[in-house]
Amino acid sequence: MESLLAILIGGLFASAIYMILRRSIIKLIIGLSLLAHASNLLIFTISSTVRGKAPLIQEGEKHITEAVADPLPQALILTAIVIGFGVTAFTIVLIRQVYQIVGQSDANELTLTDS
């Protein structure tokens, strides 16, 4: 499971970087959200994936005795996903506005503010 996820994450990172380096600003935004998802999955994998074991102390026990799923990374990812969603929504509106007002969707041509 973990090695599968590792390959998936690697693929996501690779495609994210490929998309970010494209000149189209729309592809760039896709790349950025792929990057965010790749990081989220990485956090999920890094804290060891355990299936079907809730982090509950069994009746009669004082502490957890077997390997259980760690709930904290999942909470972190949930927060990061929500933030990422808001940011993506903003960037989509932004590139629409950039395209309308600057009239360019090619990142190479956006040189107005460079010195």
Options 29-37, 49-57, 58-66: segment touching another protein (CB under 8 A): 29-37
Size of the site for another protein (CB under 8 A): 34
d(CA 94, CA 101): 10
Nearest approach, Cβ of residue 36 and another protein (Å): 6
* Residues counted in the chain: 115
C-alpha to C-alpha distance for 111 and 29, rounded to whole angstroms: 18
How far is it, in rounded angstroms, from Cα 3 to Cα 104? 42
Residue tagged 């189209």 (tokens): 24
Query: Interface with another protein includes 30 (CB under 8 A)?
Result: no
Nearest alpha-carbon partner for 51 in 64, 79, 70, 28 = 70
Among the candidate windows 52-60, 61-69, 92-100, which touches another protein by CB under 8 A? 92-100
Interaction site with another protein (CB under 8 A):
20, 25, 28, 32, 35-36, 38-40, 42-43, 46-47, 72-73, 76, 79-80, 83, 86-87, 90-91, 94-95, 97-98, 101-102, 110, 112-115
